[in-house]
Amino acid sequence: MGFSKYSLSAIVALLALAEDYERRVPARVLSERTKLSSRSLLEVMHILCVANVVYCFRGVKGGFQLKKAAADITLLEIVEAIEGPIERHVDSMQFNLPSASRRSLTNALYNVAHDTTKRLASVTLSSLRAAKVA
């Protein structure tokens, strides 16, 4: 399973926000820290704001702030905020195969999606930050 550049950008942005968990970080500062363009950053942060992962503040003293501790934000939450539910992607696939093969392939893909969901749910922003430091 691959992840879009938006999901990866969201993870990078949230890791940077986790460094200042209790403080509001201006978009310009976040863009500089992450090396993401302002436009890409704002698109991703808007999605994360709508998904209730971050607070978004407008105006001169605006910026972004995590809504909860990095230990409580999983990769699953981030990826699904950007991409939508992982299993939905299996539902949307159309296969031109005999029914037995189609059923077998669909079951295999659901198993992969389920395993991916479990693994993503087990990784938090704080565990990624700890691994970066170690």
Per-residue pLDDT of the chain (134 residues; tens, 9 = 90+): 578 899 999 999 999 999 988 899 999 999 999 999 999 999 999 999 999 999 999 988 889 999 999 999 999 999 999 998 887 766 656 667 777 887 888 888 888 889 999 999 999 999 998 775 54
Q: Name the pTM for this structure.
A: 0.85
Half-sphere exposure of 107 (CA within 13 A, CB side): 6
DSSP three-state, residue 53: coil
Q: Domain 5-133: which topology?
A: Arc Repressor Mutant, subunit A (1.10.10)
Question: Which H or E run includes 70?
Answer: none
Q: How many residues does the chain have?
A: 134
Rounded Cα–Cα distance for residues 78 and 88 (Å): 16
What are the φ and ψ backbone dihedral angles of 70, each rounded to 5 degrees?
-60, -30
Domain locations along the chain: 5-133
Rounded Cα–Cα distance for residues 68 and 48 (Å): 13
